[in-house]
Structure 1
Amino acid sequence: MPFSETPNTSGRAALSHLLDPASIAIIGASRDTSRIGGVALDHLQRLDYKGLVYPVNPRYQEIAGLSCYPDVESLPQAPDVAVLALAADEVLSQLHRCHARGIRAAIIYASGFAEAGDAGAERQAALAAFARESGMAIAGPNCMGLANLTTRAVTAFATTFRAFPPQDGPGAVSLLTQSGNVCAIVYATARQMDVGFHQFINTGNEACLDYADYLDYLADDAQTGAVVGYVEGLRNGNRFLSAAARLRAASKPLILLKAGESEAGSAATQSHTAVLAGNQAIYRAAFAQVGAMQAGDPGHLADLAYLTGFRHRGAGRRVVVASVSGAMGALSADLLSAAGLEVPRLPEAVQQRLQAGAPELGAVANPVDLTGQLFNRSGLAFAVLDNLAATDGVDVIFLYATAYLLDRMADELIEVAGKTDRLIVVATTGEPASRASLAAAGVALFPDCARAARALGTYVGWLGTAAPAAHWMALRARPSAHAAGSLPASPMDEHQAKQWLAGFGVPAGAEAAAATPEDAARAAEVIGFPVVVKVLSPDIVHKTEVGGVRLGLADAQQVQKAVAEVIAAASQAMPQARQRGVLVQQMASGVCELIVGVTRDPVFGPAMTVGLGGIFTEVFHDVAHRLLPVDRTMAQEMLASLRGYRLMTGFRGKPPADIGAAADAIAALSDAAMSLGDRLAEMEVNPLLVRDAGRGAVALDALVLMQQPIQNGDTQ
């Protein structure tokens, strides 16, 4: 279903009071800088915030040289934002007073809301209702607060700013998390890598403003060059996707860490697809489709935030490794390969040039072993690295050196960096004195080869996501080319589902519904033996489990006997099921079988799962996921991403499968699902038989489940 990418300008104006305030009131301010009412006030003074600060507490007339006011009514003006360092039961009444005073934004530290049982949930519902009625922009509750580190408007009680103060001058990375602790951890880790931050945002319970609201603001914030985020769960999938896509279109990295969530709820669904399409898998698909980088842990998140600050022409996957240690060069090559990067052998001409210029090198094929000769020969590093930077087929230079040797070659490395637009990444041990000068020259420094390789692999993968993300967003915004048309009475049986899907281009084989054994035998004669007989019922989804299927029937007598058997078996196993006779279907064979299904994700809407049938899905969970819509190009990408894809390409003498026909069928199923909009519950073709190249594909079984019963003739 298409959605608007129009920015929410009214919401952005309200958020500016939270994220770029010119004046701040702290209600519940304290002289004790260890209390939450004192921490933010201390930050504002220590970090030299230039705006107006109003402590509010009737117990004091003055705090830290600032006039302290007894209540908000006494303030000389309405500040942009009020920070409520109060207990939960005091929050709502104080918000009413703030609103009456003309304050347009507030930050709520207090816990004791939705996370605190029924009473807390009621308190949060009242808070959300007040925000809707008043129009106030309210962050939290249960949040650590916010910090604009460019302007030093720190309204967060995070003490990490004392141990790791913000950078001098503006920062470009905005941090957006649903956990206060993760926000502080990522900030501290990244500051140790000299990452400069702009916004520090902990969303808390998101009673009034949710993750998508903040992301929408940051997507259009000129100061934000990258967004680093931690997500536990999203509520507004469409708005998230829109903002994330605009970040990707602007080449602003969005780097996300997603916490795991239970997938036990999928066990109650009726299709195999729903079991495979767990919550976490759909989030990963959503992030990938809008071109977001995905981190595996807070440290990885911080490393990616650091690496994205180094601009270059656009790094590909081909990495040349230079190392002062042969062993570390080999280990680095292994780590880079494991991260999805290529460490190709250098061309012979380049190897000869390296050996001619530096015969003392230990190895030149890639990795290049600089050896300990760096101690003895000035200019060796420049000679080698300059050659590597000029080599076609090299996208990234990866250097390992101890801190001591890195300092010795720093000037040479800086000279090379000034001549090339390739990305240069250095892994070093110790703390080099040249760190700042190297970083200023555009050289990225990591304290560990594994961290450097992991970050580089993720980052380089992200660089290639702009076109696929733009393709999908354009596809999603396009009006549907298909209407649902006339639908059979719900629920559909297998035969009805296939007939309806065929209208969208999902291929069905020769088959016929039959009410009696004699009708089934006549149908089989027309279809041609051998045939399959299945019980036909909208209530029996998994027919084999109730004995409702017979295969390889070679003549009319076998068909009649099979009809009696499947009806009897199904009646005994599920006596309450409505039966509509049997389905007679032509036996078919092919190269492989696919499972293709669509489920409705509560956050992102319809999502597709594609996998090879049998043990590949049941044991290995070798499946690909995409949010809808999916076209032919995306369907081919899904198939190619499967670990078992080689089985479709002519593996060990088997004929190649008709991959194009399979992709067309997958795209057609997407069209069918999109035509139903919110009415769709689940849809599945399992299996989709894929024949030899040029011979097409066929849906051998199909399932369409609706959210609500549909009357005959109902149309979209």
Structure 2
Amino acid sequence: MLAPVKTTRHRLEPLLNPASIAIVGASNNAARIGGMPIAHLTKFGYAGQIYPVNPKYEEVFGLRCWPDIEALPAAPDLVVLAIGAADVLPMLRRCAAKGVRAVIVYAAGFAEEGAKGAALQAELEAYVATTDMVVAGPNAMGFANLNTQAHTNFASVFNTAPMQAGKGSVSLLTQSGNVCAAVYAIARRLGVDFSHFINTGNEACVDFAQYLEYLAQDDATEVAIGYIEELRDGERFMAAAAEFARQDKLLILYKAGETDKGSEAVRSHTSALAGDRAIYQAAFRQLNVIQSHDFVQMAQLAHLAGYRRQSAGKRVAIITISGALGAILADKFIGAGLEVPTLPQALQDTLRAGIPDYGMVSNPVDVTGNVVNDPGFVRTAMEALAQSDAVDSVVIYAPGYMLDRMADDLCAVSARFGKLFVAIDTGAATTREQLRAGGVPVFEDIGVAVSALAPFLLWQERRRANRWLQVRQQAAPARAALPAALDEYRTKQFLAQHGVPMAPERVAASAHEAAAAADAIGYPVVLKVLSPDIAHKTEAGGVRLRLQDAAQVRSAFDEIIASARRYDPQARIEGALVCPMESGVAELIVGATRDPVFGMTLTVGLGGVLTELYQDVSHRLLPVDEQIAREMLSELKAFPLLTGYRGRPVGDVDAACAAIAAFSRAVLALQEQADEVEVNPLLVRPAGQGACMLDALVLAQPAQG
């Protein structure tokens, strides 16, 4: 089960919503890091107490400046340290003695700067663990609570980005100060109003997941957009993201380190190794997190989030005055995973009443240039689409002058029916702000529109029900002990106890026993060396296939035992495994590995030895049930091989899904005992004949000594 979101709101409240702020290293120069936060606080009207601290000054920005932290009349909620790395730890001790609840450390020179800096950060972490203080950073730009104007940052973007007039509900959370500033600037130009501006720095004492946990509990946050280089606490992150989904809040994340070079840059920048790209993608999809890929898209998604209460989904109707633009939009939307369904005939008939025969009405809907002569018909078309159960969202492409004519009707239809209408204006409509205020988002570029709309509409589709979160919540905690010596037979027996099907097979300690077992099973048979120390039996010469009689079995037994002893003289040889020679429709690889961030994760592929070559695999975080297993199989490019491709027999997909779900249960039962579990292959027989594992492997976690 997902761990319940731990209550961090009280702990982080003085950090993110302080009632009083002290700045140690205060400066009277707004261009210096000790002066900029005070300039922001005074400029934007922070109502709390501000305590500049620096013995060099008597007054800073018109405020009394105190000589040291001890001289303050009261312990502030939050202290900002605008001092050098070497001075941080002594100052933290003084803050703790004063009774300070939270501290932000601006200074660089810690874990991001090699062994010496890492040692300094380790010392900081060890000290903070002995206190009740919460310490952000080091190497952090600082925060801003835009609803209270509690600026604890040295970000110049607040001097250049459009000012925010009212309170916001979008929180920005990044592992980079520069990214935080860049995304904030783009989003503010789109009119996005923010509640929190947070960059995490080195995360010595508070990590990304803890901030996300706070935002999940924060009433002022309805949407969060974030930038991740590496997660340190995958379980806490999953719990926080699940809480976002439970509360119907939108979470948008950009994960860096998508390529080898990107991962290398991340390691250089944060001294942290980026997690596996495919696993992050799987985690985001299962948690219904929108994964963004650039800053503009992040900002556009934050803007779209303001329209998330309108009814929307992945079935899109397109209205244009150009057949070419309709075709282009249809291609792009379908390519991005959306649907452009053919409209019902009755709806087409309604549209045809105002559209000439040469204009398309099936979807996309081409109202043609004739709409200039009858602009009122556009409202009829929009109302018809707004009331149709065949589409979830409507996208209108029109030049500026036409959009201006439609604006009043668009806003009226959107307000009356509550279905999401989106406008794309590559001209210069004067009614853009009217449309946005009236519930109709407006895009100025087709590519940007598709880039933002596609993930947003897919999120809308998934928010109605998240199967994985339900399965995760309902998963019963279980634990099973691993056998002491994990050879293939014992591994299969363990998996079979949890429902993974296996073929009838027998263990033989001698050539005579092997022949007797083969007689009982029936020919042809397979003979495999049995050893807990030899994982790859083929490489050891420990496998013989298609043995037809007892004589071949006896001879093969002696051969594989001798070959295995030559391959690894130290290996424990327990005999051989006698199995029926199976055949079927296809072979699957079903494996679970321990991801350093998210724990045990499942990989399913189709194609036997070709799986690794083609990388045709699907990933999920555990647990999975039969429905999720079917989704995984259907994602494989080779899935048609299971469904009768070009006259091939249809495979028993139901049995394969049941086996995958049983495998998931078995892996969860192992909990921390194994690093890797694999069935390779899982044979899928023809429909109605089931599936069975032909080989299995468990790599136990190394003993801790």
Q: Give the Cα separation in 2 of the matches to 1:467 and 1:645.
A: 27
Q: Give the Cα separation in 1 of the matches to 2:170 and 2:142.
A: 17
Distance 1:40 1:458, change over 3 A: same
SS in 2 for 1:54: strand
**Which AA in structure 2 matches 1:391?**
S
Please say if residues 359 and 367 of structure 2, whose CA atoms lie closer than 8 Å, have aligned partners that are also in contact.
yes
Q: Give the Cα separation in 1 of the matches to 2:512 and 2:469.
A: 50
Please say if residues 245 and 469 of structure 1, whose CA atoms lie closer than 8 Å, have aligned partners that are also in contact.
no
1:288 corresponds to which of 272, 285, 292:
285
Equivalence for 1:345: 342
Equivalence for 1:613: 607
1:551 corresponds to which of 516, 540, 545:
545
Cα deviation for residue 503 of structure 1 reads 1.5
| Deviation digits for residues 290-349 of structure 1 (CA, Å, limit 9, x no counterpart) | 221211222222222111210345322211111233322221111111111111222333
Equivalence for 1:274: none
Equivalence for 1:533: 527
Q: Give the Cα separation in 2 of the matches to 1:392 and 1:670.
A: 37
Distance 1:420 1:332, change over 3 A: same
2:227 corresponds to which of 227, 230, 236:
230
Equivalence for 2:480: 484
Residue 440 of structure 1 pairs with residue 442 of structure 2: no
Q: Give the Cα separation in 2 of the matches to 1:448 and 1:381.
A: 22
Please say if residues 511 and 584 of structure 1, whose CA atoms lie closer than 8 Å, have aligned partners that are also in contact.
yes
| Deviation digits for residues 601-625 of structure 1 (CA, Å, limit 9, x no counterpart) | 2222211111113365212212122
Residue 202 of structure 1 pairs with residue 199 of structure 2: yes
Equivalence for 1:271: none
Equivalence for 2:680: 686
Equivalence for 1:542: 536
Equivalence for 1:398: 395
| Deviation digits for residues 47-81 of structure 1 (CA, Å, limit 9, x no counterpart) | 22222222222222222222222212222332221
2:517 corresponds to which of 506, 520, 523:
523
Cα deviation for residue 373 of structure 1 reads 4.5
| Deviation digits for residues 616-636 of structure 1 (CA, Å, limit 9, x no counterpart) | 521221212222222233222
Residue 300 of structure 1 pairs with residue 294 of structure 2: no
Equivalence for 1:604: 598
Equivalence for 1:176: 173
Q: Give the Cα separation in 1 of the matches to 2:683 and 2:357.
A: 60
Residue 115 of structure 1 pairs with residue 112 of structure 2: yes
Equivalence for 1:587: 581
Q: Give the Cα separation in 2 of the matches to 1:114 and 1:362.
A: 63
Equivalence for 2:268: none
Please say if residues 312 and 422 of structure 1, whose CA atoms lie closer than 8 Å, have aligned partners that are also in contact.
no
**Which AA in structure 2 matches 1:229?**
G
Q: Give the Cα separation in 2 of the matches to 1:148 and 1:245.
A: 24
Please say if residues 475 and 623 of structure 2, whose CA atoms lie closer than 8 Å, have aligned partners that are also in contact.
no
**Which AA in structure 2 matches 1:535?**
V
Q: Give the Cα separation in 2 of the matches to 1:278 and 1:311.
A: 30
Cα deviation for residue 642 of structure 1 reads 2.2
Distance 1:72 1:397, change over 3 A: same
1:667 corresponds to which of 661, 664, 667:
661
Distance 1:263 1:663, change over 3 A: farther
Please say if residues 613 and 687 of structure 1, whose CA atoms lie closer than 8 Å, have aligned partners that are also in contact.
no
SS in 2 for 1:255: strand
The root-mean-square deviation of aligned C-alpha atoms, in Å, is 2.3
- List gaps (5 residues or longer) in structure 2: 262-273
Cα deviation for residue 204 of structure 1 reads 0.8
Please say if residues 29 and 85 of structure 1, whose CA atoms lie closer than 8 Å, have aligned partners that are also in contact.
yes
Residue 310 of structure 1 pairs with residue 307 of structure 2: yes
Q: Give the Cα separation in 1 of the matches to 2:16 and 2:165.
A: 19
Cα deviation for residue 408 of structure 1 reads 3.2
Please say if residues 113 and 120 of structure 1, whose CA atoms lie closer than 8 Å, have aligned partners that are also in contact.
yes
SS in 2 for 1:643: coil
Please say if residues 312 and 461 of structure 2, whose CA atoms lie closer than 8 Å, have aligned partners that are also in contact.
no
Equivalence for 1:699: 693
Residue 141 of structure 1 pairs with residue 135 of structure 2: no
1:495 corresponds to which of 489, 510, 513:
489
**Which AA in structure 2 matches 1:225?**
E
Cα deviation for residue 378 of structure 1 reads 4.1
Cα deviation for residue 190 of structure 1 reads 1.6
Q: Give the Cα separation in 2 of the matches to 1:207 and 1:157.
A: 20
Equivalence for 1:269: none
SS in 2 for 1:151: coil
- Higher relative contact order, structure no. (Cα contacts within 8 Å, ≥ 6 residues apart): 1
Residue 641 of structure 1 pairs with residue 641 of structure 2: no
Distance 1:278 1:70, change over 3 A: closer
Q: How many residues align?
A: 693
Q: Comparing 160-169 with 117-126, which one deviates more in the overlay?
A: 160-169
| Deviation digits for residues 539-594 of structure 1 (CA, Å, limit 9, x no counterpart) | 22122223221111111222222223323333333333322222211000111111
Please say if residues 314 and 393 of structure 2, whose CA atoms lie closer than 8 Å, have aligned partners that are also in contact.
yes
Residue 252 of structure 1 pairs with residue 249 of structure 2: yes
Q: Give the Cα separation in 1 of the matches to 2:536 and 2:26.
A: 64
**Which AA in structure 2 matches 1:169?**
G
Q: Give the Cα separation in 2 of the matches to 1:230 and 1:406.
A: 35
Identity of aligned residues (%): 52
Q: Comparing 699-708 with 321-330, which one deviates more in the overlay?
A: 321-330
Please say if residues 30 and 37 of structure 1, whose CA atoms lie closer than 8 Å, have aligned partners that are also in contact.
yes
Q: Give the Cα separation in 1 of the matches to 2:639 and 2:542.
A: 31
**Which AA in structure 2 matches 1:212?**
A
Q: Give the Cα separation in 1 of the matches to 2:564 and 2:6.
A: 55
Q: Give the Cα separation in 2 of the matches to 1:160 and 1:446.
A: 24
Please say if residues 468 and 624 of structure 2, whose CA atoms lie closer than 8 Å, have aligned partners that are also in contact.
no
Equivalence for 1:33: 30
Equivalence for 1:7: 6
Distance 1:514 1:474, change over 3 A: closer
Equivalence for 1:628: 622
Cα deviation for residue 709 of structure 1 reads 6.0
| Deviation digits for residues 96-145 of structure 1 (CA, Å, limit 9, x no counterpart) | 22222222111111111111112211211121122221111111111111
Equivalence for 1:457: 454
Structure 2 matches for 1:59-208, cutoff 5 A? 59-208=56-205
Q: Give the Cα separation in 1 of the matches to 2:597 and 2:237.
A: 10
Equivalence for 2:426: 429
Distance 1:307 1:704, change over 3 A: same
Cα deviation for residue 261 of structure 1 reads 6.2
Using the size of structure 2 for normalisation, the TM-score is 0.93
Distance 1:616 1:190, change over 3 A: farther
Q: Give the Cα separation in 2 of the matches to 1:347 and 1:309.
A: 31
SS in 2 for 1:552: strand
Equivalence for 2:555: 561
Cα deviation for residue 84 of structure 1 reads 0.9
Distance 1:93 1:709, change over 3 A: closer
**Which AA in structure 1 matches 2:331?**
D
Distance 1:354 1:6, change over 3 A: closer
Q: Give the Cα separation in 2 of the matches to 1:476 and 1:383.
A: 46
Q: Give the Cα separation in 2 of the matches to 1:278 and 1:108.
A: 26
Q: Comparing 436-445 with 654-663, which one deviates more in the overlay?
A: 654-663
- List gaps (5 residues or longer) in structure 1: 265-276, 711-716
Cα deviation for residue 435 of structure 1 reads 2.0
Distance 1:325 1:358, change over 3 A: closer
Please say if residues 5 and 236 of structure 2, whose CA atoms lie closer than 8 Å, have aligned partners that are also in contact.
no
Q: Comparing 457-466 with 223-232, which one deviates more in the overlay?
A: 457-466
Distance 1:500 1:358, change over 3 A: closer
Please say if residues 9 and 218 of structure 2, whose CA atoms lie closer than 8 Å, have aligned partners that are also in contact.
no
Q: Give the Cα separation in 1 of the matches to 2:564 and 2:464.
A: 50
Q: Give the Cα separation in 2 of the matches to 1:33 and 1:147.
A: 17
SS in 2 for 1:218: helix
Q: Comparing 557-566 with 695-704, which one deviates more in the overlay?
A: 557-566
Please say if residues 275 and 597 of structure 2, whose CA atoms lie closer than 8 Å, have aligned partners that are also in contact.
no
